[in-house]
């Protein structure tokens, strides 16, 4: 099976070059196909930059709808390996969806969110559209990526409440002792279109 050619969204300035973005998107596709085709792929990072440990989320879309999203908040492995592992997990282990099929794989659109390390932040310093949030309390933790509040047109308070909700906490836990951490993400991917 041939790999789909990624159609990256408009290039934005950022840490990763267009070549690196394309390489990571191809890797995500190939890692999904390698599971379906029962073959090994090399996870040796091709450059020192892609060998750096980073947190990453891989989101899969099919016909404009979310089809899976899994990620690592913290930098547990090289970015190259993390992209491959999270792409496979989004395709086959996201319990909200049935596993991606051989027929679906060539039609997936992939979006990568490469994260900075989360840092504690005061609620009033959270910037919608810039920060992703991680809220923790009593062993519960919820995370929302920076693009989520923008897509839903949320203000700061709603963003904080929804991140608490994602953690299974009361919506006002952010006011009552929960740890609020923020991170930024470089987000890039392929066009999402409804067919």
Give the pLDDT of residue 14. Answer: 82
Spatial contact of 83 and 56, defined as CB atoms under 8 Å apart:
yes
Q: Tell me which residue of 127, 175, 176 sits closest to 154, measured CA to CA.
A: 127
Give the pLDDT of residue 190. Answer: 87
What is the spatial distance between Cα 62 and Cα 53, in angstroms, rounded to a whole number?
Answer: 29
Give the pLDDT of residue 96. Answer: 94
Give the pLDDT of residue 13. Answer: 54
Judge residue 98's burial from the number of C-beta atoms within 10 Å of its C-beta, 0-12 exposed, 13-18 middle, 19 or more buried.
exposed
Q: What ranges make up the beta strands (E) of the chain?
A: 55-62, 65-72, 109-115, 119-120, 132-137, 140-144, 179-183, 185-189
pLDDT at residue 110 is higher than 50:
yes
pTM of the model: 0.80
> What's the chain's average pLDDT?
90
Q: Tell me which residue of 34, 32, 27, 85 sits closest to 55, measured CA to CA.
A: 85
pLDDT confidence of 155, banded at 50, 70, 90?
A: very high
Q: List pLDDT tens digits, range 65-102.
A: 999 999 998 899 999 999 999 999 999 999 999 999 99
pLDDT at residue 194 is higher than 90:
no
Q: List pLDDT tens digits, range 44-71.
A: 999 999 999 999 999 999 998 999 999 9
Give the pLDDT of residue 150. Answer: 93
Count of C-beta atoms within a 10 Å radius of residue 11: 10
Q: Where in the chain is the domain with CATH 3.30.1490.150?
A: 119-185
pLDDT confidence of 192, banded at 50, 70, 90?
A: low
Fold category of 119-185 in CATH: Dna Ligase; domain 1 (3.30.1490)
The dihedral region occupied by 42, where left means phi > 0, alpha psi between -120 and 50, and beta the remainder, is: beta
Fold category of 18-115 in CATH: Glycoprotein, Type 4 Pilin (3.30.700)
For range 137-157, the mean pLDDT: 94
Q: Where in the chain is the domain with CATH 3.30.700.20?
A: 18-115
């Amino acid at each position: 099976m041939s790999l789909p050619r990624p159609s990256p969204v408009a290039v934005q300035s950022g840490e990763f070059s267009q070549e690196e973005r394309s390489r990571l998107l191809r890797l995500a596709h190939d890692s999904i196909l390698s599971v379906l085709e029962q073959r090994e792929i090399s996870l040796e990072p091709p450059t020192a930059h892609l060998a750096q440990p980073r947190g990453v989320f891989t989101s899969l879309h099919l016909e404009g709808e979310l089809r899976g999203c899994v990620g690592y908040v913290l930098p547990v492995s090289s970015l190259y390996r993390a992209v491959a592992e999270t792409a496979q997990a989004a395709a086959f282990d996201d319990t909200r969806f049935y596993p991606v099929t051989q027929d679906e794989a060539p039609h997936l659109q992939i979006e990568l969110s490469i994260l900075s390390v989360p840092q504690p932040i005061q609620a009033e310093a959270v910037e919608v559209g810039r920060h992703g949030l991680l809220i923790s309390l009593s062993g519960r933790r919820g995370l929302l990526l920076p693009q989520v509040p923008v897509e839903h047109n949320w203000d700061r308070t709603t963003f904080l409440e929804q991140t608490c909700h994602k953690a299974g906490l009361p919506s006002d836990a952010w006011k009552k002792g929960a740890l609020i951490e923020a991170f930024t993400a470089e987000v890039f991917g392929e066009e999402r279109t409804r067919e």
